[in-house]
Amino acid sequence: MTIQVGDRLPDATFAKATPDGPEQVDAASFFQGRRVALFSVPGAFTPTCSARHLPGFVEKAAEIRAKGVDEIACTAVNDAFVMSAWGDANAVGDKVTMLADGNGAFARAVGLEFDGSKFGMGTRAQRYAMVVNDGVVEALHVEQAGEFRVSSAEHLLETL
């Protein structure tokens, strides 16, 4: 079942690359007591994700934060090292936190996974953007397959 507005995020663990290696990030702790814009991409270094999705959030980070968002985070079913390298390649700096969902546990838990096997990608997360306020989904924008509109930084800004 897909998570809905008003639902509390399920228990899950992400990974984040640090100079000392991957660090486990507990979702409940990460989202607790603050408002986070979380967006998901099917895969790091993939065409739309690299050309438009992540760069849009990097470019609009200050505007999104000005609307009361404490942190912007990107997740994908990739490992922490790939997410870190992709963040470096896109100069995310401290504008976007890169959260790896390497085994797709978060994507499954929120019901937003898809089968990308025909593309050689296995199970991945759908493209979406959500606003999470103290662990509760405040807004959710899930793309239709093959589209990129409602999960964009620009659309999220319009809805904040």
Question: Each residue of 136-154: pLDDT tens digit?
Answer: 999 999 999 888 999 999 9
Residue 122 within a domain:
yes
Q: What is the mean pLDDT of residues 81-94?
A: 95
Residue 25 CA: distances (Å) to CA of 2, 18, 31, 82: 22, 11, 10, 16
Residue 3 within a domain:
no
Residue 5 within a domain:
no
Q: Active site includes 74?
A: no
Structural domain count of the chain? 1
* Domain extent at residue 117: 13-159
| Cα 63 versus chain centre, distance | 18
pLDDT at position 99 is: 97
Q: What is the mean pLDDT of residues 124-133?
A: 94
Integer Cα distance of 2 and 97 in angstroms: 24
Other residues' Cβ atoms within 10 Å of the Cβ of residue 9: 21
User: How confident is the prediction for the chain on average, in pLDDT?
Assistant: 93
CB 106 within 8 A of CB 76: no
Q: Residues 15, 37, 41, 49: which is the catalytic one? A: 49
Integer Cα distance of 111 and 151 in angstroms: 16
State phi, psi for 14 to the nearest 5 degrees.
-100, 175
State phi, psi for 121 to the nearest 5 degrees.
-110, -10
Residue 105 within a domain:
yes
Query: Over pLDDT 70: what percentage of the chain?
Result: 100
CB 64 within 8 A of CB 152: no
Q: Domain of 77: which CATH number?
A: 3.40.30.10
| Reported pTM | 0.94
Residue 134 within a domain:
yes
